[in-house]
Structure formats: structure tokens, C-alpha cells
Copies of this chain bind each other. A is one copy, B any other.
Amino acid sequence: MEIKAVLNEAVATPDPRLQQLLNHALTGGKGLRPTLVLLCARFGIHDTVEVRQVATAIELIHLASLIHDDVLDGATVRRSLPALHCLYGTVPAVLTGDYLFATAFGLLASSKKAVLTTVTEAIRAMCSGEIQQLTAAVPDTKAYFTYIGQKTAALFSAACRCGGILCRLKRPQQNYLARFGWHLGLAYQIIDDYLDLFGSAQRMGKPNRQDLARGILTLPVLRFLELSPEAARWQEKINRGLTAAEIEELIAAARQLNCDEYTAAIAEEQITLALEALDKLPVSPVQEELALLASRTLDPLQEII
């Protein structure tokens, strides 16, 4: 994939220690966000080099945020490998994240102002979402959507809007692309949260059931707490911290109340909204490719249900 080459070039450094950290940070990943930039830019005439640089920058920002998140969550595994901070320590990990942020903005330096403001807005949303999450009172479905919007959908949406800006789409069409990315991002995060609860650790490349163990309530759990006659008792247990056995019990109970199917349906609903936004854009082969990419995000659900 062409992005990989730009990524490697962007993080080339004469310092062997730093290079080691950066190489680890770049290992694996599906490259979904840069793909969105590349595809969306194909709606019009664009400068290939500039598009690739912006796509790479967005991936670097994503990687930087993963590194910082893993430090802050105390996560130990990422993409089937030990998290960066576990191998090299917290200090190098935070600094590597900062270095990647700076590298990303270096790549964005030659791009349009609108690209830069779109990306910085997305990062601000990501940070402020994480900060709000820390102090959120009793979470509900509305707060969940706000949170995953900032945490995940904002950067998906920015990636798509940047593609639109770079190929000189008109503002309303940029907005449709941004909306497409937004709903796709929400669906993507809902599916991630679904798999964390109902999927297998092996398939995810990281330990699952982490959210619940940390007391973070995702959509299927929120649904369960809405439906279960024993919600109050479960909420108490969650606050106290669940044992592994209790987590299994909760998951079984949630399945009984069809919370898995409900969550899958909500993800599908978001994909429908994404496709609706896409329909407003000029008919083109790119539109079809984006639609296919969107539909495929649902694939992991089919493999499990």
C-alpha cells in the first residue's frame, strides 16, 4: 500500500533508539483512515502527492492517539503486539506520541488551510472527548454517542472531509463526505465495542472485555442496564469492579435480552445513514467503492451472530 511508503519515509530518523520506537508504533493496522482520504479525493482532480501526505498525516495522528491512550488506559496489548509503553516505558511512549503529532503537522504544512483546521478540530474533539469521559456522571446512550463521536467519528469524518477539500469539492459536497465519515466512524466504534464484549480476543488482536473490566459502559452494556430487572444490582457490581466470572454472567444475561442483536442493529443503522450521505454525492466508481468499504465494516458482525 502506497501509504506505507510515505509513513516510513515520514518517520525516518538518524537516531536508532527513536527509530525503534517509531517502527514499533507503525507496525500493523488496517489503514482505514488514510484509505478514506485517498478514496474521497478521487471525487475530483487532486494532487496525488498532497493527498498521500494528508492521508499519512491522519494515520500518524491516529497512531499517536493510540499510543497515548494505551499509556493512559494501562493497556498492555495492541494489534497482537505488546503496547509500546510496555516494551519501552511510559516516558518514551508519551514522547513518541508527541513526535508523531509533530511529524503529522510537518506533513500537513504544505496543504490547504482548510485541511489543517479540519484536522486540528478533530484532534481537539478527540482530547476533549477523553477528558469529558473521565468525569462523566452516570453514562447513558446519549453520552455514549457524544463520546464515541469525539473519540472515533471526528477523525473518520475529518479524513473524508480532507479528501473532499483536496479534490476541490464544493462545501455542501464536503459536508456530505464529512457526514458519511461521521456515521461510518460511529458504526466502526459501535462494532468495536460489540466485539470487545461478544467477540474473541484473538480476532481483535488485543484482550477483550477490557471496557467492562475498567467500568466503561459501552452501548450493549447500557442497553442491558436499561432492560435488565436487576440493573441496580449490576450497576453496583460494575461500580465496585467486576470479577471475570461476573463479566461472563453479565454477557450471558445481555445475550438473553438480545443486547447483542440490538447493538448490531444500531451499527447497521449508522451504516445506512452513511450510505444515505454518500447518495447525495455525484454517481461515480468512487462512490461505489466507499459504499462497499462502509458495508464491509459490518462483516465482523456476520461472522459472530
Contact = CB atoms under 8 A, between A and B. Distances in A.
Interface of A: 13, 15, 17-18, 21, 65, 68, 71-72, 89-92, 94-99, 101-103, 105-106, 108-110, 113, 116-117, 119-121, 123-124, 126-128, 130-132, 134-135
Q: Number of copies of this chain in the oligomer?
A: 2
B117 A68 contact: no
B101 A72 contact: no
A17 B131 contact: yes
B102 A113 contact: no
B90 A72 contact: yes
B92 A94 contact: no
Contacts of A105: 105, 108, 116, 119-120, 123
B68 A135 contact: no
B110 A113 contact: yes
Nearest to A73: B91
A300 to B, nearest CB: 29
Contacts of A117: 106, 109
B120 A94 contact: no
